[in-house]
């Protein structure tokens, strides 16, 4: 049975060279194993071989029986740069993503990255990435230097995504109040999950999914706490006039239309998400090759789910293929 890994990350070679050349605001050091370490507020990423070497990654996928990955950039993202540098790096990354798809298309497709600190440049790059390069959508970070994705400055991106029927995949960035998360890896362990939750709730209450209904919204890490907190959001809708200002129905009804990746390998959490959104809105994801990610854990978690064979096939690959427009 095919498997599409929807949540994983790739640092393309020219992008890495640009970060190390002094063009970027990201500080890069080299650790004792020869891996670049990308430092940004509250965290750093160790760019291991799997982040940087697609030939090696193909071998890993073949070993584990993963058919395809939807590669995306990850933190720190281009929005931490000056707008001009962000636009340059985003275009560079998307060109390299396109090259990966063209040369290794049996194993990879991708979602574009955008220079989100410049919404006008992002809208232009989204058009280029989806129309000229043929990418099926983009990955957004959960906040853009503290600005919520629900802010109207980003709506031109959503207009274009809606026109294309594209995928917009929300991945956490360093959260607001990140200074409170410096110890014990609390930023990626806790802050990431709640920043995704905050982004999704804000988008819904602001009426963005209602205004742009043709977008396929997807959330990393099983939606953070969305399946767990959805009932509370609905209570807010009924209790507070502000929560009804931009939407006509309960927030959970919109959130059930979102897609959720399996990068929470706990069976109870996965069952809750399936009960909430349905098995047809769950996407296999591994978070490979981050230290906290695991392709074997992804495969094991999906194999153990108490779902029908048809639902399991959907989670493994069919749900992703549907929203990405893939023919397999």
Instruction: Determine what percent of the chain is predicted with pLDDT higher than 70.
Output: 99
In the structure, what pLDDT confidence band is assigned to residue 43 with cuts at 50, 70 and 90?
Answer: confident
pTM listed for this prediction = 0.96
302-313 pLDDT, tens digit each: 999 999 999 999
**DSSP bridge partners of 28:** 38
pLDDT, residue 59, reads 96
Angle (CA) 16-22-27 rounded to 5° is 70
In the structure, what pLDDT confidence band is assigned to residue 29 with cuts at 50, 70 and 90?
Answer: very high
When the pLDDT of each residue in the chain is averaged and rounded to a whole number, the result is 95
Angular region, 180: left φ>0, alpha ψ -120 to 50, beta rest: alpha
In the structure, what pLDDT confidence band is assigned to residue 23 with cuts at 50, 70 and 90?
Answer: confident
In the structure, what pLDDT confidence band is assigned to residue 42 with cuts at 50, 70 and 90?
Answer: low
pLDDT, residue 305, reads 98
Domain ranges, residue 131: 4-324
Q: What does the alpha-carbon distance between residue 265 and residue 279 come to, in Å, rounded to a whole number? A: 15
Question: How many folded domains does the chain comprise?
Answer: 1
CATH, residue 203: 3.20.20.140
In whole angstroms, how far apart are CA 144 and each of 154, 278, 323, 328? 10, 30, 25, 35
Taking the chain, what is the end-to-end CA distance rounded to the nearest angstrom? 11
Residues 226-231: contacts with CB within 8 Å, 24+ apart? 226/196, 226/197, 226/200, 226/201, 226/255, 226/258, 226/260, 226/276, 227/260, 227/269, 227/272, 227/273, 227/275, 227/276, 227/277, 228/272, 229/197, 229/201, 230/255, 230/276
pLDDT, residue 22, reads 83
Residue pair 272/255 in contact by the 8 Å Cβ criterion: no
């Amino acid at each position: 049975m095919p498997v599409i890994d929807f949540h994983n990350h790739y640092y393309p070679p020219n992008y890495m060279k640009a970060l190390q050349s002094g063009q970027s605001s990201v500080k890069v050091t080299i650790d004792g194993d020869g891996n670049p370490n990308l430092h940004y507020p509250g965290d750093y990423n160790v760019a291991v071989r799997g982040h940087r070497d697609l030939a090696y990654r193909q071998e890993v996928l073949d070993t584990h029986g993963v058919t395809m990955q939807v590669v995306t950039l990850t933190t720190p993202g281009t929005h931490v740069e000056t707008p001009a540098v962000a636009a340059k790096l985003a275009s560079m990354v998307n060109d390299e993503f396109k090259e990966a798809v063209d040369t290794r298309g049996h194993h990879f497709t991708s979602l574009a990255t955008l220079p989100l600190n410049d919404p006008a440049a992002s809208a232009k790059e989204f058009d280029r990435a989806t129309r000229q390069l043929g990418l099926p959508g983009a990955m957004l970070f959960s906040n853009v230097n503290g600005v919520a994705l629900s802010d109207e400055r980003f709506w031109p991106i959503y207009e274009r995504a809606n026109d294309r029927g594209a995928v917009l995949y929300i991945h956490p960035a360093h959260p607001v109040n990140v200074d409170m998360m410096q110890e014990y890896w609390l930023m990626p362990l806790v802050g990431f999950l709640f920043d995704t939750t905050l982004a999704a709730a804000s988008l819904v209450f602001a009426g963005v999914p209602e205004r742009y209904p043709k977008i396929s919204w997807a959330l990393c890490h099983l939606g953070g706490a969305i399946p767990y907190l959805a009932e509370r959001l609905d209570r807010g809708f009924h209790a507070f006039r502000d929560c009804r200002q931009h939407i006509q129905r309960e927030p959970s009804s919109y959130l059930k239309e979102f897609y959720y990746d399996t990068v929470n390998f706990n069976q109870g959490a996965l069952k809750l998400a399936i009960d909430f959104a349905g098995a047809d809105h769950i996407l296999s994801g591994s978070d490979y090759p981050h230290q906290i990610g695991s392709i074997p854990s992804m495969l094991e978690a999906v194999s153990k789910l108490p779902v029908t064979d048809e639902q399991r096939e959907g989670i493994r690959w069919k749900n992703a293929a549907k929203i990405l427009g893939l023919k397999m």
